[in-house]
Amino acid sequence: MTLLGATTGAFGPNQVMAQVTVLVFAGALLADAVVGGGGVWKAARADRGSYWWIQAAQIGAVLLALLARWAAPWANLPGWVWGLGIVTMVAGTAVRVWALRVLGEQFRRDIVVTPDQPVVSDGPYRWVRHPSYTGALLIFSGLGMALANALSLLALVVLPGAAYLYRIRTEEAELGAVLGERYHQYAQGRARLIPSVW
């Protein structure tokens, strides 16, 4: 059995499915890096470590998910879940790239808010306050589904989800403190991640 479980279990005998999973996930990471730029070595104080929590949570989740796929074949999901995972990763990539392109020069990987910065309400920001985070969470959830293992999916939902929730609380506190009523008016009536849900 390979690390991705391509030769047995939910993937069946098709090694191509494992290769497609890796290529789609790598493509999502590459698209993020090309559109959003590189990482941050020294995050701003307002970030409160959220950038590094996200990085650690995502890397830890991927490692745990791969370990679970290898060590817990009893948690394998039906093979059709793989296709749903691929579609979810592609959708997440599209949402994240769209959000980053709409932000343009306003996008930062750490939290930096200046009093004169605009409140962006175009594109996906019409419906949710943090669509780039929605996209990232879809990418990692999709990877969990593509691995077709319940424990892998759990790791890739819970760890990044917790890190992004911390990031959202930190970022919204800073936006509210610096932009004041402009941000509060924008946030009113808009969900954080999922339209009409939360």
Q: Is residue 3 part of a domain?
A: no
Q: Which residue has the tokens 């990482």?
A: 39
- Total tally of structural domains belonging to the chain: 1
- Mean pLDDT throughout 25-37? 84
Q: Does any domain span residue 192?
A: no
pTM of the model: 0.88
Chain segment 61-73, per-residue pLDDT in tens: 999 999 998 899 9
Q: How far apart are the first and last CA of the chain?
A: 40
49: Cβ–Cβ under 8 A, 6 or more apart, which residues? 43
Q: 12: helix, coil or strand?
A: coil
2 pLDDT more than 70: no
pLDDT at residue number 88 = 96
Average pLDDT, the chain: 86
Domain assignment present for residue 72? The answer is yes
Q: Report the distance separating Cα 153 and Cα 158, nearest Å.
A: 9
What's residue 14's pLDDT? Answer: 61
Supply the CATH number for residue 116's domain.
Answer: 1.20.120.1630
Measured CA to CA in angstroms, residue 95 lies from 35, 43, 176 at distances of 12, 25, 25
pLDDT score recorded for residue 125: 93
Query: Do residues 51 and 110 lie in contact, with contact meaning Cβ atoms separated by under 8 Å?
Result: yes
Query: Given the structure tokens 């479980």, which residue do they identify?
Result: 5
* Domain membership flag for residue 194: no
Range of the domain at 34: 9-187
- Report yes or no on 197 lying in a domain: no
Asked whether residue 69 is domain-assigned, the answer is yes
* pLDDT tens per residue across span 93-148: 999 999 999 988 888 887 788 888 888 889 999 999 999 999 999 999 999 999 99
By residue count, the chain amounts to: 198
Q: What is the mean pLDDT of residues 162-168?
A: 95
Q: What is the 3-state secondary structure (H, E, C) of 102-149?
A: HHHHHCCCCCCCCCCCCCCCCHHHHCECCHHHHHHHHHHHHHHHHCCE
In the predicted model, what is the mean pLDDT of residues 31-43? 77
Residues 6+ apart with CB under 8 A from 87: 142
